[in-house]
Amino acid sequence: MDPRTEISSLGEFGLIDHLTQNIELKNASSILGVGDDAAVIDHFGKQTVVSTDLLIENIHFDLMYTPLRHLGYKAVVVNLSDIYAMNATPTQILISLAFSNRFSLEALDEFYEGVYAACEKYDVDLLGGDTSSSQKGFIISVTAIGEVSPDQFVQRGTAREGDLLCCSGDLGAAYLGLVFLEREKKIFLESPGIKPDLEGEKYVIGRMLKPEAAKEVIAFFEKENIRPTAMMDISDGLSSEILHLCKKSNLGCVVYEEKIPIAEETRNAAFKFELDPTACALSGGEDYELLFTIQQADYDKLVLNEKISVIGYMTTPEEGKKIMTRGGNKFDITAQGWNAFTQ
Of 229, 236, 234, the C-alpha closest to 251 is 229
Query: Do 144 and 176 share a structural domain?
Result: no
d(Cα 274, Cα 244) in Å, to the nearest integer?
Answer: 29
What would the pLDDT profile of 58-106 be if each residue is shown by its tens digit? 999 999 999 999 999 999 999 999 999 999 999 999 999 999 888 888 9
Q: Tell me the three state secondary structure of residue 133.
A: strand
Last residue of a domain, one of 148, 179, 199: 148
Last residue of a domain, one of 148, 172, 201: 148
d(Cα 92, Cα 80) in Å, to the nearest integer?
Answer: 9
- The reply to whether 1 falls in a domain is no
Last residue of a domain, one of 120, 148, 176: 148
- The reply to whether 2 falls in a domain is no
CA distance to 46, 145, 230, 295, 335, per residue, from 238 (Å): 31, 25, 15, 20, 9
pLDDT of residue 310: 98
298 neighbors 229 (Cβ within 8 angstroms): no
> Mean pLDDT, to the nearest integer, of 197-223?
93
pLDDT of residue 22: 72
Query: Do 197 and 299 share a structural domain?
Result: yes
What average pLDDT does the structure give for the chain? Answer: 91
pLDDT of residue 282: 95
231 neighbors 87 (Cβ within 8 angstroms): yes
Query: Do 317 and 246 share a structural domain?
Result: yes
pLDDT band for position 11 (cuts 50, 70, 90) = low
Please give the residue that has the higher pLDDT: either 82 or 14.
82
Over pLDDT 90: what percentage of the chain? 75
- Res. 341: pLDDT tops 80: no
Query: Do 334 and 188 share a structural domain?
Result: yes
Query: Do 172 and 72 share a structural domain?
Result: no
Domain housing 258? 164-342
Q: What is the DSSP string of 40-81?
A: EE--TTSEEEEEEEEEEBTTTB-TTT--HHHHHHHHHHHHHH
Query: Do 180 and 130 share a structural domain?
Result: no
Query: Do 116 and 24 share a structural domain?
Result: yes
> Mean pLDDT, to the nearest integer, of 236-254?
97
pTM for this predicted structure: 0.92
> Mean pLDDT, to the nearest integer, of 316-323?
97
- The reply to whether 158 falls in a domain is no
- Res. 14: pLDDT tops 70: no
pLDDT band for position 277 (cuts 50, 70, 90) = very high
pLDDT of residue 51: 97
pLDDT of residue 130: 86
Query: Do 334 and 185 share a structural domain?
Result: yes
Q: What is the CATH number of the domain that holds 274?
A: 3.90.650.10
Over pLDDT 70: what percentage of the chain? 93
- The reply to whether 83 falls in a domain is yes
77 neighbors 212 (Cβ within 8 angstroms): yes
Query: Do 181 and 113 share a structural domain?
Result: no
Query: Do 238 and 125 share a structural domain?
Result: no
Of 235, 212, 342, the C-alpha closest to 284 is 235
Of 129, 126, 143, 145, the C-alpha closest to 24 is 126
Domains identified in the chain, total number: 2
CA distance to 52, 98, 222, 296, per residue, from 228 (Å): 23, 38, 11, 11
Q: What is the CATH number of the domain that holds 88?
A: 3.30.1330.10
Output the CA torsion 240→243→55→168 (10° steps). Answer: 80
d(Cα 296, Cα 187) in Å, to the nearest integer?
Answer: 50
- Res. 340: pLDDT tops 50: no
